[in-house]
Each structure stands twice: as C-alpha cells, then as structure tokens.
C-alpha cells in the first residue's frame, strides 16, 4: 500500500531527530551531575529507538490547553496574541519568605538546563520533548517552606478576555493543580521556560509551566501565576470536574485504568498510521527515581 | 429534480469517505493519524444518524415525500461509516489484539455501548431491501424503531469517550434529543 511510501519520506526527519537527540543527550549528561541516571531509566523501560524526539511541529500544534478551547489545534490557533509580558509569579502560603518574581527575575535567578522528558497524556498518547527549565525545588528552597507545608498548589492565570475557553464552565477556572511536597521537591520536577532551545510557545504554557514526567500531562500546569504551599491536599480542577476519574496523584500507571479508557498502551505522536501502540510503563519509565515516593501506598486507591 | 435527488445524495454521502482516503494516502492526518481516522468516521456516523432521523420530520413539515425516499440510503451510510469506524479500531488501532479488544468491550462502557449500537444496525441493514419491507409488513416499522436506540447509544458513546461534554458531544446529543422529541409530538397530535 501507499502507506509505506509515506514512511519512506520520514527517515530523513527521524534521522535528524535522532542526531539531535544524541546531541542533546550528550549535552545534558555533561551539564548535569544526575543526568545520565535520569535518561537511562527511560531507556530501560522503552527501547532506545522509541525515545525519538517528537517533531517540533507536533509538539507545538497538538496541545491540550482548555483555556484556549478543547480542540487539539485550538491552543496554537488562538493563543498567538496572548500577552505573557509583564508576568509575575507569586510564591506564598506556608513559607517564611513569600516572594513575587517577574519572569525576568526568574530567568536570571535560575539558569535553565535541558531535560528530555517523555510526556504521557491521560488520553493515551505520548511525546518526547527537549524542555528547558530548572528544578522546582530551587525556587521552593528560596522561600523556605514551613513545617506546615505538606502540599504545593499551582494556580494558572485567569484571563477570560484573552482565553476564550475560560468563558465557558468547562473546568473550574483558573486551572488548579497540586503536588505533595516531596513530589514537588523531587529533582525530576521542573519549571519550564522553553522547549527545543526556544522560548516556550504560548500554546505550550508560556511563560512558565510545570513538567512532572512521571504523571499524566494534565498535572503539569501551564501559565502559572501562583505557587502556594499549603497544609491540606489541594483539589485540582480535574478532580473537581470528575473525582472518580481524576485522582490527586495521577501517576502514569498501566495497571490502573481510567474508568473509561485503558491505560495499558499508548500511541507515539508522529509515528504515523503504521506505527503500533507501545506498552505504557509504570511511572512513565521514571520508576527508578520516583517509586520510592510511594512505598507502602496502594496506588490503585491513590490513583 | 426528482431523478437527480437520490444520486446527488449518494455522491454527497461518499465525499467524506473520499476525503479520508485522500488524507490517508497523502499523509494529511496530522500528529495522531489513527485517532483522526477513528474520530472522522465516528463523527460522520453521527451526522448520518442525525440526517436519517431528520427525513420523516422534514416530510411532515414540507409535505414533500421525496425526503423519505433517501432515508434508506442515509441509513446505509450510517452502517457504512459505523463499520469503517469499528474496523479502524480493530484493524488499525488494536491490530486484531482480540484480548485487549474483548477487555475494552467488557470494561469500558463507551466501547460496550458503541459496539452494541453497531450490532443493532445489522438487522436494519439486513431488512433494508424492498423485499424485506413487504415480507415483514407492519413488523418492519417496529423493527426499524431500533434506530432511535442506536442514536441514543451513539450520542452516549461520544459523551462517555470525551473528557468533557463541551462542546461537540453536547451538540450532537441535543440534536438527537430534539429529533427524537419531534416524534413523540407527532404521535400525540395524529
């Protein structure tokens, strides 16, 4: 069938991707002490060939960002005029030194590093993306959380004038998410300011978003304006929308199905019509690093 | 007008199929091609369900009988697109992984109800010929009321598979509910 003809066109693209992947891998491993450890874990779960970078084109045109609409292409089409400057982020709550930082201050204070992470969406697809950012713990350490700080709440921007999706009761706006403090302090959890070496595109959550690679994509809030350290477990927008379907933890787990969809397999974005689904791995392949956070916990109950 | 009506509806009905075929062969399906095909064929199934259900109300309101003459063809298009939808799921998406498919049908209510809707279409297709209409007499009408259940199943299938009801699942459901309500009204007034 002609389908195969299409795949003959792609090797060049894949080849370039593979080269840049190797290049980035080298750079990242060199610049980070823990780097090699982070990537090998992903390699162990899925073979090396499967960890190809997803096309920049797909990363930036296929997005879930309901503030701009529920369609996958809505974010890229409707976010280009979104104003991200000036932008301030308040970090407060159960902390000793609450701060209010502008994006300029953030980029100055926290040098960005590259992290190649796999993003697994709860809808059953995945991408591999070279992010630029810094560990969330660096910013949290700056504000000195108190002993009452058990959880971290992330509040995204509320701006229905600019975000058409917020004019409808799709979710409890502004978008809210949360992590347990030890999850937030984990070195894999990063705040993102860019991808593919470029400034973070609006449709990907500019100017500042979260990336928690072992959890489903919706846990990684976009366009964050407030990081609040709290004592009680925050209720995320998705938990509020459907508590039976979206738990607080939302760790990638092939054994715990979403009540309506299976989570056993996933489709790799950009693979084309002939590429098969691949098995989903526990903690999205980051189990070596993060499984310890959940020892003794029944992850079927705490989904 | 009369002689061109049926063939032109047929051509219009085939256009979505030609479009998706073109997209498959020319690689125009975007980042998630399999999902694109699944959603495309699924959505057109719903469109044809709505069109099929619109024919007798249209006949009522316009006093023109030619609407119901294309109803059978529209109904067969429902089956055509529903079958493409099912085959995409079985062949392209799950590659005949029967265990996973069986698991889905049993565990996932949207798959179950979607599959049930497709099964219910089969008796309608088998009894769609003129011969069968005559053979079944008044039972034919009763049997073909199954399309109401199929329509409800179809809209539930869409609602249950979506992360939120906004907006397309809601729109299709409202259209189907509206078309079904029109029928209840008819019976009371006639």
pLDDT band for A287, please (50, 70, 90 cuts): very high
Does residue A71 belong to any structural domain of this protein?
yes
Percent of chain A at pLDDT > 70 equals 83
How many whole angstroms separate alpha carbon B43 and alpha carbon B51? Answer: 12
pLDDT in tens, A199-245: 999 999 999 999 999 999 999 999 999 999 999 999 999 999 999 99
Write down the pLDDT at residue B189. 56
Q: How many domains does chain A have?
A: 1
A26 pLDDT above the threshold of 60:
no
Does residue A300 belong to any structural domain of this protein?
no
Best of A277, A278, A279, A280 to mutate (most B CBs within 10 Å, chain B)? A277
What is residue A178's three-state secondary structure? strand
Give the count of beta carbons closer than 10 Å to the beta carbon of residue B14.
12
* CA angle at A256 for the pair A255 and A260, rounded to the nearest 5°: 125
pLDDT in tens, B75-101: 999 999 999 999 999 999 999 999 989
Scan for tokens 């992330």, then name that residue: A154
Write down the pLDDT at residue B186. 60
Write down the pLDDT at residue A190. 98
Q: What is the mean pLDDT of chain A?
A: 87
Contact, A204 vs A60, CB < 8 A? yes
Please judge whether A241 and B29 are an interchain contact, meaning their C-beta atoms are less than 8 angstroms apart: no
Domain of A14: which CATH number? 3.90.420.10
Please judge whether B103 and A2 are an interchain contact, meaning their C-beta atoms are less than 8 angstroms apart: no
Residue A1 Cα to chain centre, angstroms: 37
Beta-bridge partners for A156: A224
A10 pLDDT above the threshold of 60:
no
Task: Give the 3-state DSSP-derived string for B91-134, with helices as H, strands as E and coil as C.
Answer: HHHCCCCHHHHHHHHHHCHHHHHHHHHHHHHHHHHHCCCHHHHH
Query: CA of A57: which chain B residue's CA is closest?
Result: B31
Per CB-CB distance under 8 Å, the chain B contacts of A276 are 95
Please judge whether A70 and B160 are an interchain contact, meaning their C-beta atoms are less than 8 angstroms apart: no
Percent of chain B at pLDDT > 70 equals 96
B52 pLDDT above the threshold of 90:
yes
pLDDT in tens, A185-200: 999 999 999 999 999 9
Q: Which domain holds residue A37?
A: 3-294
Give the count of beta carbons closer than 10 Å to the beta carbon of residue B90.
14
Q: What is the pTM of this model?
A: 0.81
B→A contacts (Cβ < 8 Å), by residue, are 24-25, 27, 29-35, 37, 92-95, 100, 103-104, 107-110, 160-161, 163-164, 166-167
Does residue A238 belong to any structural domain of this protein?
yes
How many whole angstroms separate alpha carbon A247 and alpha carbon A216? Answer: 11
A45 pLDDT above the threshold of 90:
no
Mean pLDDT value across residues A43-68: 79
Q: ipTM surpassing 0.95, yes or no?
A: no
How many whole angstroms separate alpha carbon A137 and alpha carbon A185? Answer: 5
pLDDT band for A23, please (50, 70, 90 cuts): very low
Q: How many domains does chain B have?
A: 1
Task: For residue A51, give the nearest of A271, A283, A272, A255 by alpha carbon.
Answer: A271
Per CB-CB distance under 8 Å, the chain A contacts of B161 are 260-261
Q: Which domain holds residue B178?
A: 2-189
Torsion of CA A61, B154, A264, B167, to 10 degrees: 30
């Amino acid at each position: 069938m002609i389908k195969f003809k299409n795949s003959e066109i792609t090797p060049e693209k894949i080849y370039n991707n593979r080269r840049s992947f190797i290049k980035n891998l080298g750079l990242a491993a060199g610049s980070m002490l823990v780097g090699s450890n982070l990537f090998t874990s992903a390699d162990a779960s899925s073979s090396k060939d499967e960890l190809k970078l997803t096309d920049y084109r797909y990363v930036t045109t296929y997005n879930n960002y309901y503030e701009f609409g529920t369609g996958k292409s809505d974010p890229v089409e409707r976010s280009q005029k979104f104003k991200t400057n000036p932008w301030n982020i308040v970090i407060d709550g159960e902390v000793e030194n609450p701060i209010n930082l502008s994006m300029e201050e953030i980029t100055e204070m926290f040098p960005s590093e590259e992290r190649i992470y796999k993003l697994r969406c709860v809808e059953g697809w995945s991408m591999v993306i070279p992010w630029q950012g810094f560990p969330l713990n660096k910013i949290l350490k700056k504000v000195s959380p108190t002993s009452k700080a058990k959880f971290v709440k992330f509040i995204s921007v509320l701006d229905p004038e600019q975000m058409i999706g917020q004019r409808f009761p799709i979710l409890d706006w502004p978008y809210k998410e949360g992590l347990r403090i030890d999850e937030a302090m984990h070195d894999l959890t990063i705040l993102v300011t860019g991808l593919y070496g470029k400034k973070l595109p609006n449709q990907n959550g500019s100017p500042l978003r979260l990336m928690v690679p072992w959890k489903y994509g919706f846990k990684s809030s976009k366009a964050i304006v407030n990081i609040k350290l709290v004592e009680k477990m925050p209720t995320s927008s998705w938990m509020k929308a459907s508590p039976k379907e979206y738990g607080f933890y939302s760790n990638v787990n092939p054994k715990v199905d979403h009540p309506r969809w299976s989570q056993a397999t996933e489709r790799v974005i950009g693979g084309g019509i002939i590429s098969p689904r691949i098995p989903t791995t526990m903690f999205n392949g980051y189990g070596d690093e993060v499984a310890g956070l959940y020892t003794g916990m029944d992850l079927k109950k705490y989904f | 007008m009369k002689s061109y009506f049926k063939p032109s509806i047929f051509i219009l009905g085939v256009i979505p199929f030609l479009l998706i075929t073109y997209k498959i062969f020319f690689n125009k399906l975007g980042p998630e091609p399999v999902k694109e095909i699944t959603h495309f064929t699924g959505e057109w199934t719903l469109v044809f369900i709505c069109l099929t259900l619109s024919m007798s109300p249209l006949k009522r309101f316009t006093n023109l009988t030619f609407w119901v003459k294309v109803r059978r063809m529209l109904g067969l298009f429902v089956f055509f697109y529903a079958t493409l939808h099912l085959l995409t799921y079985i062949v392209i998406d799950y590659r005949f992984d029967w265990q996973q498919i069986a698991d889905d049908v049993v565990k996932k209510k949207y798959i179950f109800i979607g599959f049930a809707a497709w099964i219910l279409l089969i008796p309608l297709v088998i009894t769609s010929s003129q011969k069968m209409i005559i053979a079944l007499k008044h039972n034919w009408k009763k049997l073909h009321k199954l399309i109401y259940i199929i329509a409800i199943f179809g809209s539930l299938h869409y609602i249950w598979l979506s992360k939120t009801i906004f907006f397309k699942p809601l729109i299709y459901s409202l259209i189907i509910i509206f078309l079904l309500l029109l029928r209840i009204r008819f019976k009371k007034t006639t």
